[in-house]
Chains A and B, each alone.
Chain A
Amino acid sequence: MSRGLRGSLVAVGLVAALTTTGCVGSAPSEAGASGDTIKVGVLHSLSGTMAISEVTVRDAELLAIEEINAKGGVLGKKLEPVVEDGASDWPTFAEKAQKLISQDKVATVFGGWTSASRKAMLPVFERNKALLWYPVQYEGLESSPYIFYTGATTNQQIVPGLDYLKEQGKKSVFLVGSDYVFPRTANKIIKAYAAANGMEIVGEEYTPLGHTEYSTVVNKLQQAKPDAVFNTLNGDSNVAFFKSLRGAGITAETMPTVSVSVAEEEVAGIGPDNIAGHLVAWNYYQTTTGATNDAFVAAFKATYGANKVTSDPMEAGYNAVKLWAAAAEKAGTVEVEPVKAAAKGIALDLPEGTVTIDGENQHVFKTARIGLVQPDGQIKEVWSSGAPIKPDPYLKGYDWAAGLS
């Protein structure tokens, strides 16, 4: 117990010293809003399994910050993004959110992708009375006073998707999803909708996140022979799913799928050949018409490369920054409560069209769009709700959803 232990004691001592000094050394600096710049937090997974989706959202948010800075910033001050890595780990999200708030003193945070990361961060923002802008479509049933939701809630994406299927005369639907909260909640909603609208759910399959073997699920699809498949698979699993689907000879003509987590980025990874002809439900596509979107797409390609695509979550992240900046300008400060108050009713012309913040629940009005995947990897709009739909995270406006929340 001599040398080894003694050495380890030195180690302990050193570590303790290091920890303490390190922590003290990097302890709170000056507040984010003081000086010439305003600090804003950007918190996404840059490593781990979720990096695949979140890195580009970060890029879009940074692009929006750059654009705002190019036009003189907010309240005459430049925005200074503080980028943190959530590392695909939910407590890390909470930890980094806390760090951004209490150490960097950021004015607001843009971040998160998975529901789990949002649920992890929610108490941190509520406790600190700080602001989070969450840019991804999600399962609804939430309305935190300290979160702004710039992605779709269920009545802006899933319900329109179902409306579309009903319109197309699809009677039987098979549900395929990754095993986590969004697909499970979405499928609950779908089942309630189906029961009220004379549709039959002929199967429901969940696979672990990151699952890459879909032969069996596809075999079950072949046995059930549904009119359509509602796909809530997440991320990488989609690639394996569509490759299996095509391998088994299932085409969009015989059995179309509606996907709610497959955007332009994912299409490239799946291989356009494998998914062309299938449907997706979002609020924005790279092909969405309008000068604002043309400018956004052009700016994005100019900044990150001509081969890059834009997608709904990226656009929602971009929107979040723009909406916050507008609210801060309107409030004349970056303080949380005035910004929240000013945000209500703000309407901006953004790539997906006019986006208005709903003061009631801090979600935004969004136009639902059903798209058809093209062989070139782009998505063509085949149906739209026409006007932006009022967000209804608890589906209070739908009778059939009465028992859900």
Chain B
Amino acid sequence: MAVLNQLFIGASMGAVLLLIALGLTFTFGQMGVINMAHGEFLLVGAYTAYLLQNVVLALPVAFAVAGALGLVLERLLIRRFYGRPLDTLLLTFGVSLILQQLARDIFGAPNVGVTAPAWLTGGIGGFPYSRIFILVLALACVAAISLYLTRMKQGRRMRAVMQNRQLAAVSGVATERVDQLTFLIGSGLAGVAGVALTLIGPVGPSLGTYYIVDAFLIVVAGGLGQLRGAVIAAFVLGVLNSFVEFWTDASLAKVVVFAVIVAFLQLRPQGLFVLRSRALT
């Protein structure tokens, strides 16, 4: 029973990791923007949920709000930085500081409460409904994204740009539009993740900082821009973390997970899945 419970906990941790990393597979993985402000997009989603006090309604609204903010950021700043990924790190670190302080000034430094709907409180057989909800939400997001990328025209363009920007550009794809869209979706997904986080964790100005390193690690372990990779990495690391924590403690679990990722990158330096590139660097 304890083991079964722990397995479920691992899966649900994986789902959380997946949700927070999904947006990043777009902005970091596909566009190469080391977006340190990703955590603050989670924050935007979380505060959206706080303002609406309705988690379900907040999901689309947070997607829109965070997405719009992402678009603004892309238009104002990030588009000047394509091809300079390391610079985006510092740029977005600045953005992250500002957004955090804004949150502090608008909503106050203390945590705020988000009331979960009645049907998400409680659980079944020791499995909390909120966790099941997050699991389903994560899988739904993955399904939606892969449908979008494979079935929809815009999504296919996105993949084309990602694989070969110049070829896509000369084939008539408006790469700039695609960039905007990619950033919008990536940020929007972070907003959705932020809403989900309100079910399980604190909602305060520091929220983003708690998740940002984990999110990056998932994307790295999964392979840049690889949806499959991110899904597998998130669940494997979630389950691994939960069991190590169960047998030892939370601090050690984090260290072990890091060690495993470094060891894993010895075997697959580019993460689980690789997009081939012919560039000589």
Interface stretch of the complex, out of B70-78, B179-187, B201-209: B201-209
Are A236 and B200 in contact (CB-based, < 8 A)?
no
Are A243 and B200 in contact (CB-based, < 8 A)?
yes
Are B205 and A52 in contact (CB-based, < 8 A)?
yes
B9 to nearest A CB, angstroms?
Answer: 4
Are B201 and A215 in contact (CB-based, < 8 A)?
no
- Find the B residue at minimum CB distance from A270: B113
Are B123 and A249 in contact (CB-based, < 8 A)?
yes
Q: Which of A53, A247, A269 has the most CB of B within 10 A?
A: A247
Interface stretch of the complex, out of A23-31, A121-129, A130-138, A217-225: A217-225
Are B109 and A52 in contact (CB-based, < 8 A)?
yes
A92 to nearest B CB, angstroms?
Answer: 16
**Given A216-B9, A247-B130, are A269 and B203 neighbors across the interface (CB < 8 Å)?**
yes
Are B109 and A55 in contact (CB-based, < 8 A)?
yes
**Given A212-B201, A216-B246, are A236 and B112 neighbors across the interface (CB < 8 Å)?**
no
A247 to nearest B CB, angstroms?
Answer: 3
Are B128 and A208 in contact (CB-based, < 8 A)?
no
Are A219 and B111 in contact (CB-based, < 8 A)?
no
| Complex contacts, B126 vs chain A, CB 8 Å | 222, 248-249
| Complex contacts, A272 vs chain B, CB 8 Å | 113
- Find the A residue at minimum CB distance from B6: A219
The verdict on A179 contacting chain B, using a C-beta distance below 8 Å, is yes
Are A207 and B209 in contact (CB-based, < 8 A)?
no
Are B110 and A52 in contact (CB-based, < 8 A)?
yes
Are B111 and A223 in contact (CB-based, < 8 A)?
no
> In chain B, residues 191-243, which have Cβ atoms closer than 8 Å to a Cβ of chain A?
199-206, 209-211, 242
**Once the chains are docked, how many angstroms separate the CA of A47 from the CA of B116?**
29
**Given A206-B251, A247-B131, A249-B126, are A268 and B110 neighbors across the interface (CB < 8 Å)?**
yes
The verdict on B115 contacting chain A, using a C-beta distance below 8 Å, is yes
| Complex contacts, A249 vs chain B, CB 8 Å | 122-123, 126, 128
**Once the chains are docked, how many angstroms separate the CA of A222 from the CA of B5?**
10
| Complex contacts, A206 vs chain B, CB 8 Å | 249-251
The verdict on B93 contacting chain A, using a C-beta distance below 8 Å, is no
Are B129 and A270 in contact (CB-based, < 8 A)?
no
The verdict on B165 contacting chain A, using a C-beta distance below 8 Å, is no
- Among B9, B128, B200, B206, contact of A52 (Cβ-Cβ < 8 Å): B206
The verdict on B101 contacting chain A, using a C-beta distance below 8 Å, is yes
Are A56 and B110 in contact (CB-based, < 8 A)?
yes
The verdict on A265 contacting chain B, using a C-beta distance below 8 Å, is yes
The verdict on B272 contacting chain A, using a C-beta distance below 8 Å, is no
Are B104 and A247 in contact (CB-based, < 8 A)?
no
The verdict on A381 contacting chain B, using a C-beta distance below 8 Å, is no
**Given A215-B242, A240-B200, A268-B112, are A208 and B123 neighbors across the interface (CB < 8 Å)?**
no
**Once the chains are docked, how many angstroms separate the CA of A53 from the CA of B250?**
24
Are A269 and B206 in contact (CB-based, < 8 A)?
no
Q: Looking at chain A's contact residues, is the secondary structure mostly helix, strand, loop, or mixed?
A: helix
The verdict on A335 contacting chain B, using a C-beta distance below 8 Å, is no
Are A208 and B250 in contact (CB-based, < 8 A)?
yes
B257 to nearest A CB, angstroms?
Answer: 12
Are B111 and A239 in contact (CB-based, < 8 A)?
yes
Are A215 and B113 in contact (CB-based, < 8 A)?
no
**Once the chains are docked, how many angstroms separate the CA of A179 from the CA of B205?**
22
The verdict on A69 contacting chain B, using a C-beta distance below 8 Å, is no
**Once the chains are docked, how many angstroms separate the CA of A213 from the CA of B203?**
14
The verdict on A91 contacting chain B, using a C-beta distance below 8 Å, is no
The verdict on A73 contacting chain B, using a C-beta distance below 8 Å, is no
A267 to nearest B CB, angstroms?
Answer: 8
**Given A208-B250, A213-B16, A219-B5, are A247 and B121 neighbors across the interface (CB < 8 Å)?**
yes
| Complex contacts, A215 vs chain B, CB 8 Å | 9, 12-13, 131, 242
Are A247 and B210 in contact (CB-based, < 8 A)?
no
The verdict on B59 contacting chain A, using a C-beta distance below 8 Å, is no
- Among B5, B111, B210, contact of A269 (Cβ-Cβ < 8 Å): B111
The verdict on A156 contacting chain B, using a C-beta distance below 8 Å, is no
The verdict on B2 contacting chain A, using a C-beta distance below 8 Å, is yes
**Once the chains are docked, how many angstroms separate the CA of A239 from the CA of B74?**
33
| Complex contacts, B109 vs chain A, CB 8 Å | 51-56
The verdict on B254 contacting chain A, using a C-beta distance below 8 Å, is yes
**Once the chains are docked, how many angstroms separate the CA of A240 from the CA of B211?**
13
| Complex contacts, A238 vs chain B, CB 8 Å | 202
A334 to nearest B CB, angstroms?
Answer: 30
**Given A210-B206, A222-B5, are A271 and B115 neighbors across the interface (CB < 8 Å)?**
yes
| Complex contacts, A223 vs chain B, CB 8 Å | 2
| Complex contacts, B16 vs chain A, CB 8 Å | 213
B204 to nearest A CB, angstroms?
Answer: 6
**Given A216-B245, A269-B111, A269-B112, are A243 and B251 neighbors across the interface (CB < 8 Å)?**
no
- Find the B residue at minimum CB distance from A213: B13
The verdict on A349 contacting chain B, using a C-beta distance below 8 Å, is no
- Find the A residue at minimum CB distance from B211: A212
The verdict on A205 contacting chain B, using a C-beta distance below 8 Å, is yes
**Once the chains are docked, how many angstroms separate the CA of A49 from the CA of B6?**
30
**Once the chains are docked, how many angstroms separate the CA of A217 from the CA of B5?**
12
**Once the chains are docked, how many angstroms separate the CA of A247 from the CA of B126?**
8
The verdict on B58 contacting chain A, using a C-beta distance below 8 Å, is no
B99 to nearest A CB, angstroms?
Answer: 13
- Find the B residue at minimum CB distance from A236: B202
The verdict on A246 contacting chain B, using a C-beta distance below 8 Å, is yes
**Once the chains are docked, how many angstroms separate the CA of A59 from the CA of B264?**
49
- Among B6, B129, B204, contact of A216 (Cβ-Cβ < 8 Å): B6
Additional A-B contacts beyond A56-B110, A246-B128, A272-B113 (17; CB < 8 A): A47-B101, A53-B110, A55-B108, A206-B250, A208-B251, A213-B16, A215-B242, A216-B246, A219-B6, A238-B202, A240-B200, A246-B121, A247-B121, A249-B126, A269-B204, A271-B115, A273-B115
- What are 25 A-B pairs at a CB distance below 8 A? A47-B101, A48-B206, A51-B205, A52-B204, A54-B109, A179-B251, A206-B251, A207-B250, A213-B16, A213-B200, A215-B13, A216-B9, A222-B2, A239-B111, A239-B201, A239-B203, A240-B201, A243-B199, A243-B201, A244-B200, A249-B128, A269-B111, A269-B113, A271-B113, A271-B115
